[in-house]
Amino acid sequence: MNQSERITPRTLKGFRDYPPEVMIPRERLIDTARRVYCSYGFSPIDTPALEYLEILVGKGGEETDKQLYKFQDHGGRSVGLRFDLTVPLARFAAQHINRLGTPLKHYHIATVWRGENTQRGRYREFMQCDFDTIGTLSTAADIETALVIHDLLCAIGFSEFTIRINNRMVLTGLLERLDLADQATTVLRALDKLSKIGPDRVAEEMIATAKATEEQARQILRLSKISGTHDQVLKQIEPLVAQSATGAAGVTKLKEVVDGVQAAGIPQQRVVLDVSIARGLDYYTGTVFETFLDTLPEIGSICSGGRYDDLAELYTKRKLPGVGASLGLDRLLAAMEELGMVEKVATSAEVFIPYFDPDRLHDYLKLAAAIRAAGIDVELFPEPKKLGQQLKYADRRGHRIALIAGPDEFNTATCQVKNLATATQQDVPMEPDAASIIAAVKEILQQHPK
């Protein structure tokens, strides 16, 4: 092939490759999410990456519609790549609910696509780890959503984080009082940008796009600035929405949620009532959640969601209210890398077996099989190279233990069990079942856990 004919290897803007040192912690996060979701009774589902375009368009808002990857397939059908997992879930529920019944508790871990401007920890192709409850209006489901978020962050290894909770009904109630109810979607989209562009520009956007007056914008922003303890926040927002039945109901729901999460044992400092949270997607109707790392709040919310009671009605006459949240896997991983929480390893195998006696391949294979049978991951090097070269490979890959056996060790029926982190080693008898070697390996792993 001529040099000019070769294709330059490169990735599209907003997309990325995932080498092993990134994929290994990524898969561990997925395993943790799956384990926590299952502990609450959520079951797995999957849906196609491609949906009919009418399924997706108009569900998240104008901005989301602009970000859709859409095209015509070979059959001339208008289709799009899913931009989140909630809209496909609503379609899934409407299509299968008669067979599955309610409440429908499912989790969905899959890739989504949005053609948006790239930013820190955000890509155009990214993975979401969603969990949702469909078919109930009970506040218990909202409370459980907060509990799952809390347990998930704890299971990942965080202790300093804040779950911020609001209810869109509170904001809607204020807009009703201000005669802006017909502009609710536009106002809430603007308010969702508060942390990104600041109050002055949010006010300007409300005035320009929602036709709000300066006084109306000021009152909306006044509501968003309310802070304090749960009781203090509730007391301050009650009079602001008192003339609206919707707003009053939102305040009641907020109180029920915070009382419920406290009753379940979540420390009070980890839950904050934040009336500025609106969530940018149009389909939210009630409780909304955003979760921030106290040590790195600037990276944005790493687990968000809320209640969407009307979304499924776009696909069915049956009332199918829903509530759930999504772990932003790639954003969280970027935060963990920045905080030094990600171990840089290129292999999941803790044990490495060098292959440097070319006449003993079968013995190496038997030893590796015995180690794996004991539930320990092990990698056998494929070529009989010099030991130094192989140990450099093991160090680069992140193996923790090397089992070294050359001609001298095989003659004496021993094996060197080397701790690669401490550079210490011990000679262990090489028995047919490798029992002593397995015991030595387990002891090192227990003494030096990940």
Task: Tell me the per-residue pLDDT of 35-61, one tens digit each, with 9 for 90 and over.
Answer: 999 999 999 999 999 999 999 998 887
Tell me, yes or no, whether 371 and 292 share the same domain: no
Taking only Cα atoms into account, the Rg of the chain, rounded to an integer number of angstroms, comes to 27
Q: What is the mean pLDDT of the chain?
A: 92
Pair (307, 422) in one structural domain = no
Annotate 371-401 with DSSP letters as a single string: HHHTT--EEE-SS---HHHHHHHHHHHT-SE
Per-residue pLDDT reduced to its tens digit, 222-266: 888 888 999 999 999 999 888 899 999 999 999 999 999 999 999
Owning domain of residue 331? 20-338
Alpha helices in 11-163 (DSSP H): 20-39, 53-56, 62-67, 86-100, 139-156
pLDDT of residue 149: 98
CB 332 within 8 A of CB 156: yes
Domain boundary among 307, 338, 369: 338
Residue 343 lies in a domain: no
**Does the pLDDT of residue 120 top 70, yes or no?**
no
Domain assignment present for residue 4? The answer is no
Is the same domain home to 313 and 427? no
What is the residue whose two structure tokens read 């384990």?
A: 35
pLDDT at residue 72, rounded to an integer:
96
Q: What is the mean pLDDT of residues 293-305?
A: 93
What whole-number distance in Å separates Cα of residue 179 and Cα of residue 428?
A: 80
The reply to whether 367 and 276 lie within a common domain is no
Percent of the chain scoring above 70 in pLDDT: 98
Pair 58, 145 in one domain: yes
298, 319: one domain: yes
Least confident span in 59-63, 286-290, 312-316, 395-399: 59-63
Q: Count of CB atoms within 10 A of residue 267's CB? A: 10
Please, are residues 110 and 85 in contact by the beta-carbon 8 Å criterion?
yes
> Is the same domain home to 27 and 149?
yes
